[in-house]
């Protein structure tokens, strides 16, 4: 008999809710978390400026009406410490701590077909067996530091934003080099610039950033959304991105230019990325329609940045808006008007190496006191591959996914019975409000385990045929959109040697939920169910 019904790997939004949901279904469960605290993304990413870019009223659990009524978010886009406090509150409220085991990294998971259990090995060494494993390892938890020659010779400190020292870093008066201009780089840059003697922003690719117009919630606003929270949550479930977006319902290319411009101006003024992407029906599907947004945004950059050369360098080109994660900042572009911020173009003169005193590009050297890497993650598959996962016949997940990840519904993989993945490849995951997706996945997994248990089944495994059909659907939808048209972390392009495949389900969270529910209602169609031993 297995030690536990379910092992959950990770204690972020996923692990925390999985423990609650599975335990409430009468299952024995333990979450193993490598970090010394819960919170996942919001535990690790404690760099200055870290905040969510989905509004707090959406980026929060919906499973408990009591929780959503009693918790008050201070801001529209809360910063990392507040989100972490919220997750602690959830763990306290639902008494989850006894089943959240910190400082414990899962290093291996091996399927034992004779007993239909997973043998889970952890660091510092204990092994447990469980009927099921739930991978709540996150898509953005395996950090990526580029291989920069000479970094070990650099005499100052260097930091990765996702392993930021908990005690903070004082950059007062220092010369700081920032590498990476994605969502995180754009969030942290103005914070460093506010105190540093000089900030050098090393930019390989300019990214689109919309203002977020962050502000405290007014009491009346909070009262209003809390009064209609149940309906609002339902609307979110019926949406594409997991957030109700008030689109115009029109195609950009069929809208007169002045009317279109007016819509973009209103959304720019209101702030937020999703309203922009959802303004017109064709923006994410037709490149020319997307260009209308891109042109509008480039004009705003030129309007904000005083030096025309710097402005041109900051204007993204060559990929559609949204195909790389759309960044949000109220201060990033204006920051380049300060005399002590320099944009260094490492597209035309690549970064070559670090040396004891700083960084060297093909064109110049930069004397620095500290270096900050905002270079992101080995996304989506990275955290899964970091575990030695061996399924049926001892085949590793790495081998099974050598040419790119393959799943059925994003939650299960053929050859890996009784293993569930939350917001994995093949799910809407990173293209949605992730908290909403996490809850939906976890509840589906909970119901699946309950069904198996009550019907006398011991194992569930996706069939290869169902997986192939699902991946064909995922790919078909993706390539009808503009998303694969960028070298992004979504397709693995930020990691040398990683297969470039686009594996997120872009059909929207509503149709995804419908399909998952239909699969369950049909007795887990596309899965093989084996009797309990």
Task: Please report how close the Cβ of residue 36 comes to ligand FAD at its closest, in angstroms.
Answer: 10
The DSSP code sequence of 314-356 is HS--SS-TTTSPPEE-SSHHHHTTSTTEEEEETTTS-EEEEET
- Which residue lies nearer to ligand FAD by CB, 33 or 461? 33
Q: Which of 2, 4, 22, 40 binds ligand FAD (CB under 6 A)?
A: 40
Task: Please report how close the Cβ of residue 377 comes to ligand FAD at its closest, in angstroms.
Answer: 7
* Spatial separation of the C-alpha atoms in residues 58 and 229, rounded to whole Å: 10
Q: How many CB atoms lie within 10 A of CB 288?
A: 9
Task: Please report how close the Cβ of residue 228 comes to ligand FAD at its closest, in angstroms.
Answer: 22
Environment class of residue 533 by beta-carbon count within 10 Å: exposed (0-12), middle (13-18) or buried (19+)? exposed
Closest to 448 measured CA to CA, from 424, 417, 480, 469: 417
Q: Which listed range, 8-16, 298-306, 479-487, 506-514, lies at the site for ligand FAD (CB under 6 A)? A: 8-16
138 is a site residue for ligand FAD (CB under 6 A): yes
Contacts with ligand FAD, 104-133, as mask; x by CB under 6 A:
-xx---------------------------
Q: How many CB atoms lie within 10 A of CB 115?
A: 14
- Which residue lies nearer to ligand FAD by CB, 368 or 397? 397
41 is a site residue for ligand FAD (CB under 6 A): yes
3-state helix, strand, coil in the chain (%, to 5): 35, 20, 45
Task: Please report how close the Cβ of residue 307 comes to ligand FAD at its closest, in angstroms.
Answer: 29
14 is a site residue for ligand FAD (CB under 6 A): yes
Q: Which listed range, 37-45, 330-338, 447-455, 491-499, lies at the site for ligand FAD (CB under 6 A)? A: 37-45
33 is a site residue for ligand FAD (CB under 6 A): yes
Give every CB contact of residue 201 below 8 A, 6+ residues apart in sequence. 178, 181, 185, 189, 336, 341, 342, 343, 344
Neighbouring C-alpha atoms within 13 Å toward the C-beta of 26: 6
Q: Map the footprint of ligand FAD across residues 172-211, applying CB under 6 A.
A: 184
Q: Hunting for tokens 């990033």 — which residue is that?
A: 332
Contacts with ligand FAD, 380-409, as mask; x by CB under 6 A:
---x--xx----------------------
By CB under 6 A, how many residues form the interface with ligand FAD? 36
Give every CB contact of residue 380 below 8 A, 6+ residues apart in sequence. 139, 405, 424, 425, 429, 430, 489, 490, 492, 503
13 is a site residue for ligand FAD (CB under 6 A): yes
Q: Map the footprint of ligand FAD across residues 416-445, applying CB under 6 A.
A: 422-423, 433-434, 438
Q: Which listed range, 39-47, 173-181, 279-287, 363-371, lies at the site for ligand FAD (CB under 6 A)? A: 39-47
Q: Map the footprint of ligand FAD across residues 52-91, applying CB under 6 A.
A: 52-54, 59
214 is a site residue for ligand FAD (CB under 6 A): no
Closest to 136 measured CA to CA, from 512, 505, 439, 520: 439
- Which residue lies nearer to ligand FAD by CB, 53 or 99? 53
What tokens does 436 get? Answer: 């909403």
* Spatial separation of the C-alpha atoms in residues 423 and 237, rounded to whole Å: 15
CA angle, residues 146, 78, 340, in degrees to nearest 5: 55
What letter would DSSP give residue 313? H
- Which residue lies nearer to ligand FAD by CB, 17 or 524? 17
Q: Which listed range, 51-59, 94-102, 404-412, 413-421, lies at the site for ligand FAD (CB under 6 A)? A: 51-59
| Structural contact between residues 101 and 30, judged by C-beta atoms closer than 8 angstroms | yes
Q: Which residues contact ligand FAD (rule: CB under 6 A)?
A: 9-15, 32-35, 40-41, 43, 45, 50, 52-54, 59, 105-106, 136-138, 140-141, 184, 383, 386-387, 422-423, 433-434, 438
């Amino acid at each position: 008999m297995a030690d536990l019904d379910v092992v959950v790997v990770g204690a972020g939004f996923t692990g925390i809710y999985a423990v609650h949901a599975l335990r409430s279904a009468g299952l024995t469960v333990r979450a193993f978390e490598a970090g010394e605290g819960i919170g996942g993304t919001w535990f690790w990413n404690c760099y200055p400026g870290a905040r969510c870019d989905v509004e707090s009223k959406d980026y929060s659990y919906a499973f408990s009406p009591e929780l959503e009524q009693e918790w008050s978010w201070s801001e529209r886009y809360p910063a990392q410490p507040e989100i972490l406090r919220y997750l602690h509150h959830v763990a306290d409220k639902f008494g989850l701590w006894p089943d959240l085991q910190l400082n414990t990294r899962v290093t291996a998971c091996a399927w034992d077909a004779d007993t239909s259990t997973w043998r889970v090995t952890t660091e510092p060494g204990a092994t447990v067996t469980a009927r099921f494993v739930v991978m709540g390892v996150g898509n953005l938890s395996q950090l990526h530091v580029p291989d920069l020659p000479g970094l070990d010779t650099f005499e100052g400190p260097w930091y990765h934003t996702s392993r930021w020292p908990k005690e903070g870093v004082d950059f007062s008066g220092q010369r700081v080099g920032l590498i990476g201009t994605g969502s995180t780089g754009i969030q942290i840059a103005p914070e460093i610039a506010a105190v540093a003697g000089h900030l050098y922003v090393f930019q390989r690719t300019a990214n689109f950033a919309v203002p977020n117009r962050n502000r405290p919630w007014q009491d009346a606003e909070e009262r209003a959304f809390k009064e209609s929270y149940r309906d609002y949550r339902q609307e979110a479930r019926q949406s594409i991105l997991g957030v109700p977006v008030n689109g115009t319902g029109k195609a950009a290319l069929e809208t007169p230019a002045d009317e279109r411009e007016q819509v973009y101006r209103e959304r720019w003024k209101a702030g937020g990325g999703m309203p922009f992407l959802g303004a017109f029906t064709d923006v994410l599907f037709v490149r020319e329609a997307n260009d209308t947004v891109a042109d509008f945004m480039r004009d705003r950059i030129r309007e904000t940045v005083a030096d025309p050369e710097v402005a041109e360098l900051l204007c993204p080109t060559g990929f559609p808006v949204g195909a790389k994660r759309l960044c949000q900042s109220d201060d990033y572009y204006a920051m380049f008007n300060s005399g002590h911020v320099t944009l260094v173009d490492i597209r035309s003169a690549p970064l070559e190496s670090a040396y004891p005193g700083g960084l060297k590009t093909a064109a110049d050297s930069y004397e620095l006191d500290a270096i900050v890497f905002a270079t992101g993650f080995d996304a989506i598959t990275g955290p899964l591959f970091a575990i030695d996962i061996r399924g049926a016949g001892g085949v590793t997940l790495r081998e099974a996914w050598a040419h790119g990840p393959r799943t059925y519904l994003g939650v299960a993989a053929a050859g890996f019975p009784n293993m569930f993945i939350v917001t994995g490849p093949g799910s809407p995951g990173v293209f949605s409000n992730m908290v909403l997706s996490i809850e939906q996945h976890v509840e589906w997994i909970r119901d699946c385990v309950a069904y198996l248990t009550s019907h006398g089944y011991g194992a569930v495994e996706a069939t290869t045929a169902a997986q192939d059909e699902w991946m064909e659907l995922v790919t078909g939808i993706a390539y009808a959109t503009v998303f694969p048209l960028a070298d992004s972390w979504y397709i693995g392009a930020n990691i040398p040697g990683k297969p470039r495949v686009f594996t997120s389900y872009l059909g929207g969270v509503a149709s995804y939920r419908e399909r998952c529910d239909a699969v369950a209602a049909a007795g887990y169609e596309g899965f093989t169910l084996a009797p309990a031993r």
